[in-house]
Amino acid sequence: MSTPTTATLHILDKEYRVSCTEEERAGLESSARFLDEKMQTIKNSGRVVGLDRIAVMAGLNITHDFLAEEQKKSGANLGISDKINALHNKLDFAINTFSK
């Protein structure tokens, strides 16, 4: 079991201290940088005002991107499954045809 440590994260010019394990630290810092970039982009656009609104918009954008990727993966998996089933059917047909 890893000893807890504190990571200091900077998001939209604010400092946050978060307890985590040493193994989680790099991923947490990377996530914070990603979130900070998204929030900075929204802030700099000038269309959204207020930290809470910027955070919600960043959360929505990140969630939308994540769900879109998950949907792509699901679609790709279905395509592969269909191809495997088609090949299986062809093999069954070939085996039945040539074994008679």
- Tokens describing residue 34: 């990603």
The CATH class, in words, for 4-98 is alpha beta
Confidence of residue 36 (pLDDT cuts 50, 70, 90): very high
How many C-beta neighbours within 10 Å does residue 49 have?
8
Q: Report whether pLDDT(99) > 70.
A: no
Q: What is the pLDDT of residue 91?
A: 74
What would the two tokens of residue 13 be?
Answer: 């010019």
Express each pLDDT in 43-85 by its tens digit: 999 999 999 999 999 999 999 999 999 888 877 666 777 777 7
- 74's tokens: 């699901």
| H or E stretch covering 19 | strand 14-21
Rounded Cα distance, 89 and 93, in Å: 6
pLDDT exceeds 70 at position 26: yes
Q: What is the pTM of this model?
A: 0.69
Judge whether 28 and 7 are in contact, CB under 8 Å.
yes
